[in-house]
């Protein structure tokens, strides 16, 4: 096994497995939300496609969890401190995201602007990938953030300045966001397969 894979701590592998399961959940969630403006064979195709990806991500995450004990635990004080900082920052970002989504939902409902709920939530989701890119030192987070944010802003503009039906906008934004989480899941699946392959070769 390569020296790089030998130094991968168990907690990092757990993070990859957890990320796969999270992407499975959010991919199916956003894919399901897109059904508000779809019907018939197209709706079936969309839900089957994203549900299938969700299953693939979960299966890969479980496979990684099954070999988790083969990876070393953190053995230095500096790495333990670094892992603690990463976990704390992730928790703070995730918590802020949840609070912002809740607050935005309440404010939009109170102001009679519930039509904007879908793209505003997508905007918050997209923005939360930016600090995650710094926390996990991953470039892909910036790409996912840019994609989702652009789509969300486009959705908001369509609602504000055009006669595009609400459900059409929600479907477009949801499909695009589901594609973003799918891309992230595919990236993490490739990482997981590499981890499993390197560990098997050790």
C-alpha pair distances (Å), 107 with each of 32, 111, 114: 24, 6, 9
Domains of the chain, residue spans? 3-201
Tokens 């840019």 appear where? 146
What pLDDT digit, counting tens, does each position of 27-51 carry?
A: 999 999 999 999 999 999 999 999 9
CA distances from 90 to 66, 69, 87, 133 (A): 24, 23, 5, 10
**Considering only CA atoms, which of 139, 184, 193 is closest in space to residue 5?**
193
**Which tokens in the block code for residue 57?**
């991500």
Measured at the CA of 12, the angle between CA 8 and CA 18, to 5 degrees, comes to 145
Token reading at 140: 């892909």
Nearest to 191 by CA among 3, 25, 18: 18
Query: Which H/E stretch holds residue 160?
Result: helix 140-161
Distance, CA of 54 to CA of 59 (rounded, Å): 9
Q: Residue written as tokens 């083969």?
A: 70
Directed axis angle between helix 117-136 and helix 166-201, to 10°? Answer: 20
Per-residue pLDDT of the chain (202 residues; tens, 9 = 90+): 344 445 677 888 888 999 999 999 999 999 999 999 999 999 999 999 999 999 999 999 999 999 988 888 766 777 778 788 888 999 999 999 999 999 999 999 999 999 999 999 999 999 999 999 999 889 999 999 999 999 999 999 999 999 899 999 999 999 999 999 999 999 999 999 988 876 655 5
């Amino acid at each position: 096994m390569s020296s790089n894979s030998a130094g991968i701590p168990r907690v990092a592998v757990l993070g990859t497995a957890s990320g796969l399961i999270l992407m499975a959940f959010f991919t199916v969630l956003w894919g399901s939300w897109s059904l508000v403006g779809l019907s018939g064979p197209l709706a079936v195709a969309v839900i089957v496609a994203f549900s299938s990806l969700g299953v693939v991500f979960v299966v890969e995450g479980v496979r990684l969890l099954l070999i988790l004990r083969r990876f070393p635990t953190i053995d230095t004080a500096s790495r333990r401190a670094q892992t603690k900082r990463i976990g704390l920052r992730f928790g703070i970002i995730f918590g802020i995201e949840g609070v912002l989504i809740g607050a935005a939902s309440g404010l939009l409902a109170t102001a009679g602007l519930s039509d904007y709920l879908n793209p505003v939530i997508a905007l918050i989701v997209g923005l939360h990938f930016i600090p995650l890119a710094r926390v996990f030192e991953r470039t892909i987070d910036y790409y996912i953030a840019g994609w989702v944010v652009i789509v969300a802003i486009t959705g908001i503009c369509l609602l504000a300045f055009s006669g595009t039906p609400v459900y059409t906008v929600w479907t477009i934004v949801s499909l695009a966001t589901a594609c973003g989480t799918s891309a992230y899941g595919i990236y993490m699946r490739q990482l997981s397969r590499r981890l499993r392959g390197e560990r098997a070769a050790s």
